[in-house]
Amino acid sequence: MTPEAAPAGDVGVRPPASTSAALIESAAAAQAAAENFPVALRLLPRRYRQHLAAVYGFARVTDDMGDEAPPAERLGLLSELEDDLDRLYRGGLAPRLAVIRALAPAVAECAIPEQPFRDLIAANRQDQVVTRYQTFDALLAYCTLSANPVGRIVLHVFGAATPQREILSDRVCTALQLAEHWQDVAEDLRAGRVYLPHEDLDRFGCTEADLAASRAAPQVRALMSFQEKRARALLDKGAPLVGTLRGAARLAVSGYLAGGRAALAAIAAADHDVLSATHRPRKRRLATEMLRAYATGR
């Protein structure tokens, strides 16, 4: 279902957003303005940049409502966001939140379905009640909500969504989510969350106390080496997506793929010590990986 008739910003009377939601939006907008847009996305035609920026804004605000707001307010804010999504897709009342109004052109012009946005909200609801994952399969199920919807939305933005491409995109996006989790093990633990599956902690003889150390012990490095290679293999399985695309879509997806490969390479280069620092990829490595993916189609 897509928005009905006029753009959402012109429909009905718009009541104000809650104070907390407005503050989250403002902070997210300031952070987005301060961050560097990936090189591949800065090279895209303006219409794609605008649509992707709107999608990025939604994802950022959703995450901030689930992570940065006072815990007692998070579920209420996520419900407010979902109510506004209803206004966008069903018409009649204008969305209250600027981040939802900004989505209206992309949703209308690219026929983006509603479910991926709802899944991103559901992932943040899950974060409020699930802080540990027993198995890798359980973590993959979480990624179907927290990561894969973004790739599906991006395919719609480029008019390239097909069932086969969505399968490949899901692999890429899950791998990107895993790479982010592996970069942020220490930060996530401080926030009360552990995304490393408990079965893998047991397999490598690691405890949560080991994850709280200032430097990674040998067993933690072995665990992270296993996880880094696991994410890389999944990324490689999804990489042929690039070869099915042309033009701007190929460039953008090459950039996403490069980001994942460079992030995993940074973890490996640090001998898998993800506790002493957050290892971010070098710009040269990013550029090299992007050009390679674009040229080879994988």
Burial of 43 (0-12, 13-18, 19+ CB in 10 A): middle
DSSP 10-43: GSS--PPPPHHHHHHHHHHHHHHHHSPPPHHHHT
**Is residue 102 within 8 Å of residue 167, measured between CB atoms?**
no
What tokens were used for 13?
Answer: 């009377």
**Is residue 257 within 8 Å of residue 230, measured between CB atoms?**
no
- The residue among 3, 114, 107, 96 whose CA lies nearest residue 50 is 107
pTM comes to 0.89
204-260 confidence digits (pLDDT tens): 999 999 999 999 999 999 999 999 999 999 999 999 999 999 999 999 999 999 999
**Is residue 58 within 8 Å of residue 120, measured between CB atoms?**
yes
127 alpha-carbon distance from chain centroid: 14
Helix, strand, or coil here: 194? Answer: strand
CA-CA-CA-CA dihedral for 72, 75, 79, 81, to nearest 10:
90
Tell me how far apart the terminal alpha carbons of the chain are, to the nearest angstrom: 33
Give the pLDDT score at 23: 67
What tokens were used for 203?
Answer: 């397999």
Burial call 59-69: b when 16+ CB within 10 Å, e when fewer: bbbbbbbbeeb
Helix, strand, or coil here: 132? Answer: strand
What tokens were used for 170?
Answer: 């899901």
**Is residue 6 within 8 Å of residue 63, measured between CB atoms?**
no
Kindly give the parts of the chain with pLDDT less than 70.
1-17, 19, 22-23, 25-40
**Is residue 100 within 8 Å of residue 87, measured between CB atoms?**
yes
List of domains in the chain: 1-111 (no CATH), 130-298 (1.10.600.10)
The H-or-E segment that residue 256 falls in is: helix 247-269
CA distance 100 to 44: 23
Helix, strand, or coil here: 231? Answer: helix
What tokens were used for 46?
Answer: 């303006």
Give the pLDDT score at 33: 46
